[in-house]
Structure 1
């Protein structure tokens, strides 16, 4: 993750090198908007409720390549890279019959992006591989609580690769967001408070991971075992950008993890490039497409901080330079559609 290894960034402005040390959200927003032109910063989290220190608790991907001793294959498409790809691609438009691709969840206080993004990507691929015969939502809650030590530390972060391995061998039931009772296991953590007056300040301290409950807690009329879906395999995708593009356009959205810095919390629009702020941790996101903006290549991705964050929960991040490690650890798998 060489592109984003510095906790402070040196900017050359009018032949002067200025060391920028970021403090609160407003200072950081003003800094980003003044010093660059590829993306815009703004308030996504109420500064009266959450400080930057609070927001640091929102990222939760473990960087270790935990595989439990299993050799995980790396997928390569078209080794000669002769395939001509479109300049722009958006999975939401390419597979309009798969509503899960439009899904944006809010992880709340639980550092569950590793499980949420895995579950959403699994949902997408179930629909795509079955040609819309299976249109459902895989439960992040079931994955978060029942994978256990194999997947990491639950609400304190986990391993995306292990989540896909669990999907293959154990299966994961259906489920959607907080309060939903349509499917088997809804997500149990309420969204974070957003902008607005009269709200109480609260901590973002990481909560305990709920216990695994092998029964349906949302729609209680459903049978837990019958609600399980399975994967066929799990793999990493080559870090070559065109290989990632080929994987997406052939098989559907992928799960990627990258290093988060403080300025990412303030992203509103444009093509994100790390500019300033301390390193926070790892975050898992779903890459659903790509494009170019003002001749700058980008990945189109979905985050887990709700629709009030960024561009209705999505963001663009610079493509082709491994920005913050976004191209280093891309994982996916085939979903069983029979």
Structure 2
């Protein structure tokens, strides 16, 4: 039996060695098609011309050691050639530009390398939000501040700031200025808004506010998930429509639960024609009270706001008692209900955190205006607070913009003491009633 096993092992090793020789031999056979040792003078001339014109290893990239996948087509010889180090043996099957490109003997070749790939002089590639141009064998890149900054994400996630950051693919390639311009869209609060009297919520004096509260748990089916505003800078419209829809559903005890249309506000708010270029929430609430909105199902978001935000596709008239009725069918012809929803005048809630919590628990979600720093675009989970840049912050990092959001609840946590104050204050919180 032992002799039989030894014979099997010997047969296996012999087979492996034979297959390896056959494979090496097959790689060596391609050499005959373009080996310089067998070329005539004319063929040598053509080979030298191909040496400078052919883009083989330049395009494919070079490989260390033996890599049988490191292969490309040698079109002039109708054969395959290799860019791995194994091709340097006696029967070479290297590509014509292997020595010049892969062995460092390319001092006189023009162009630039990036990730193992060769680029011609004058080539332009995108490096996040910056354009990089190949010039004199060097990449020269623009110096714009990008919306996505991997070093800032790493800094946040490797330290205990109380929240985690994420690299959102839809933000990659955008500048910080483009993020402010297209992803926010609420103007700073107007003097009229700031002059509103604050209203406090009256609750029993002995009530204990919960450490954790979410509106959708208390009013299931009556609150609405946020809509994606994409690159439409209209948080003024999205947050207003969403808060109003929640409040109407809650105060009607679930009789009216339609999500209201931010597109109706973006396209039809005559006192604010900026649309996707920014707006003010006080004008949005004025329109909601005086003109009203249809549902999101009736007037859905345009797929391309830039080319479609040119006019209002909804109109209404008053019945003489303050109630308005639509005079046009829904822009979405599948939806038949064009009911107009209105609300009573908004009011301002104190910026005190306890008062905000009491308001949400008693009456539902509220709208908030907040200042946005550059790190907010990376927020994923946790209790957000601004984290300074890991570099010395220049003026280009200090531009602050305002953003309108919907607050739906609260959670009480113990924050670590790291010497940085928590950004927790929103100037005003108008809500529908």
Q: Which of 384, 401, 416 in structure 2 is aligned with 1:272?
A: 384
Whether 2:240 is the aligned partner of 1:118: answer yes
- Structure 2 counterpart of 1:92: 216
Counterpart in the other structure of 1:332: 431
Alignment partner for residue 283 of structure 1, among 403, 409, 412?
403
Q: TM-score, normalised by structure 2?
A: 0.55
Change (3 A) 1:71 1:282: closer
Q: Within 2, Cα distance between the matches of 1:208 and 1:324?
A: 37
Q: 1:123 to 1:27 in 2, by over 3 A?
A: same
1:234-280, CA deviations, whole angstroms, 9 ceiling, x for partnerless residues? 11111111111111111110111101111011112111110125334
Corresponding position of 2:200: 76
Instruction: Indicate the residue corresponding to 1:62 in structure 2.
Output: 187
> Quick check: which one's helix share is greater?
2
Counterpart for residue 211 of structure 1: 311
1:299-319 deviation per Cα after TM superposition (whole angstroms, max 9, x unaligned):
xxxxxxxxxxxxxxxxxxxxx
Residue 40 and residue 256 in structure 1: after superposition, are their counterparts in 2 closer, same or farther (change >3 A)? same
1:28 aligns with 2:128: no
Alignment map for 1:139-158 (pairs within 5 Å): 139-149=261-271, 151=272, 153-158=274-279
SS at match of 1:268: strand
Structure 1 equivalent of residue 9 of structure 2: none
Q: Aligned partners of 2:245, 2:269: CA distance in 1, in Å? A: 17
Question: Are positions 1:38 and 2:150 aligned together?
Answer: no
Which structure has more relative contact order (CA 8 Å, sep 6+)? It is 1
Distance 1:46 1:229, change over 3 A: closer
From 132, 137, 143, the counterpart of 2:259: 137
Alpha-carbon separation, structure 2, partners of 1:75 and 1:25: 41
Q: 1:250 to 1:239 in 2, by over 3 A?
A: same
- Return the offset for 1:173: 0.9
Q: What are the residue-to-residue correspondences of 1:220-239 with 2, within 5 Å?
A: 222=336, 224=338, 227-239=339-351
RMSD: 2.9
Give unpaired runs (5+ residues) of structure 1: 1-21, 176-182, 192-205, 298-320
Structure with bigger strand share is: 1
Whole-angstrom CA distance in 1 between matches of 2:402 and 2:258? 28
Work out which of the residue numbers 107, 113, 123 in structure 1 matches 2:229. 107
> 1:135–1:56: structure 2 CA closer, same or farther, 3 Å change rule?
same
Post-superposition offset of 1:157: 1.1
Alignment check: 8 A CA contact 2:299 2:331 kept: yes
Q: How does 1:244-263 map to 2 (within 5 A)?
A: 244-263=356-375
Counterpart-to-counterpart distance in 2, 1:41 and 1:71: 36
The structural deviation recorded for 1:91 is 0.4
Partners of 2:282 and 2:241 lie apart in 1 by 12
Gap change, CA 1:322 and 1:75, over 3 Å in 2: farther
Query: Which structure would you say has the larger Rg?
Result: 2
Give the Cα separation in 2 of the matches to 1:240 and 1:232.
Answer: 24
| Residue among 301, 304, 308 paired with 1:187 | 301
**CA 291–268 in structure 1, closer or farther in 2 if over 3 Å, else same:** same
Tell me by how many angstroms 1:283 deviates: 1.0
SS at match of 2:265: helix
- Retained in 2: the 8 A contact 1:236–1:329? yes
TM-score, with normalisation over the residues of structure 1? 0.69
Q: What secondary structure sits across from 1:49 in the alignment?
A: coil
Q: What SS class does the counterpart of residue 332 from structure 1 fall into?
A: coil
- Give a deviation string over 1:162-205, Cα, whole Å, max 9, x none: 21222112111111xxxxxxx210011469xxxxxxxxxxxxxx
Unaligned runs of 5+ in 2: 1-144, 315-327, 390-396
